[in-house]
Amino acid sequence: MSSLAHLLVHGDSIDLGAHVARESVELLYLDPPFAVGTKFAARTKRGEHRAKGALAYDDTWPSIDAYLAWLEARIRVFYTLLSARGTMWLHLDHRAVHEAKSICDAVFGRDRFFGEIVWVPGNGSKSRKGPGVTHQTLLLYARGDDPIWNAKDPALREPYAATSRAMHFQRRDERGRHFRERTIGKKTYRYYADEGRAIGSVWSDCPSMIANTPLRKETTGYPTQKPLKLLDRVVRASSRAGSLVVDPFCGSGTTLVAAAKSGRAFVGCDASPLAIRTTTARLAREDITVSVRRR
């Protein structure tokens, strides 16, 4: 599919420095174990119940402190791989995201916190003992003071409401494009109707069922697989065509597919043999050529 060099590493992500040059990565997307406290199995054949499938990965820990120490050691390695304009996205949920933010503040510096995305998978709440947690959080940290953010990429925009277009975008430029202008302070900003508006920090339009329903073409049967739409948006937000995207816990390979399809090079890594087999097969189906290095 692409002339860019792609690499898949079977091994511990703490050793990624042996495969990725320092300060070479524009986007690091981390989807590590969440400290759920269970083992995750995968659906490896049609009709198989995922809970009875092959082991994908073990997410049990002696304590939350042990998990956080494991995570911090890897984040410190990943930090050295980021370029001056690079960004790390750390995807977690309520179990550890607050403690993880303190770790990232210590590694990157609190002033390098670039924001957060709240992702709503759309699975609904199963809790009967309190407010059900129906979202996950992506923490963004920048290596330098000018991180890449492709604000006008269509993946980060949504259409204006019809009433807004009719009321506010009545002027046209020399090419016939509808626009409005707003003056803030002494500076005037122009907004075009056909560019849409920024989607903001709550993403509810990338449902997880797209990736995890057996009837969908996208699904691989790997547990905790994220939808391609979500990772396509992440990749397009924080990297440029031809740059390097790294996923240290690549699972089913969704980040790698998103990167290749948008013209980025990638390095994926996972310690799980099943993850490597699943990702390799998926990339082959997508006609994406990749080199595989095994420990």
In a domain, 222, yes or no: yes
Claim to verify: residue 86 and residue 191 sit in the same structural domain: no
- Residues 120 and 130: their CA atoms lie apart, in Å, by 18
| 158-196 as b/e: b if 16+ CB within 10 A | eebeeeeeeebbeeeeeeeebbbeeeeeeeeeeeebeee
- Residues 199 and 164: their CA atoms lie apart, in Å, by 15
Q: What pLDDT shows up at residue 4? A: 86
Total domains in the fold of the chain? 2
Q: What pLDDT shows up at residue 212? A: 83
In a domain, 267, yes or no: yes
Domain end point (choices 172, 195, 218): 195
In a domain, 1, yes or no: no
Q: What pLDDT shows up at residue 1? A: 44
In a domain, 133, yes or no: yes
The partner residues of 292 in beta bridges, in order of sequence, read: 8
Claim to verify: residue 10 and residue 40 sit in the same structural domain: yes
Claim to verify: residue 243 and residue 185 sit in the same structural domain: no
What does each C-alpha distance from 24 to 200, 204, 205, 244, 286 come to in angstroms?
Answer: 28, 32, 31, 7, 26
Claim to verify: residue 109 and residue 183 sit in the same structural domain: no
Burial of 206 (0-12, 13-18, 19+ CB in 10 A): buried
- Residues 136 and 236: their CA atoms lie apart, in Å, by 20
The CATH number linked to 267 is: 3.40.50.150
236-262: per-residue pLDDT in tens?
999 999 999 999 999 999 999 999 999
Q: What pLDDT shows up at residue 211? A: 87
In a domain, 83, yes or no: yes
pTM (2 decimals)?
0.93
Claim to verify: residue 113 and residue 207 sit in the same structural domain: yes
Claim to verify: residue 211 and residue 171 sit in the same structural domain: no
Claim to verify: residue 96 and residue 119 sit in the same structural domain: yes
Contact yes or no for 135/204 (Cβ under 8 A): no
Claim to verify: residue 34 and residue 85 sit in the same structural domain: yes
Domain boundaries, position 207: 6-152+199-294
Claim to verify: residue 218 and residue 271 sit in the same structural domain: yes
**For the chain, what's the residue count?**
295
Claim to verify: residue 209 and residue 281 sit in the same structural domain: yes
Claim to verify: residue 116 and residue 175 sit in the same structural domain: no
User: Which among 253, 270, 294 has a CA at the least distance from the CA of 33?
Assistant: 270
Extract the residue ranges of the chain whose pLDDT is less than 50.
1
Claim to verify: residue 57 and residue 136 sit in the same structural domain: yes
- Residues 55 and 292: their CA atoms lie apart, in Å, by 21
User: Which among 234, 224, 238 has a CA at the least distance from the CA of 257?
Assistant: 234
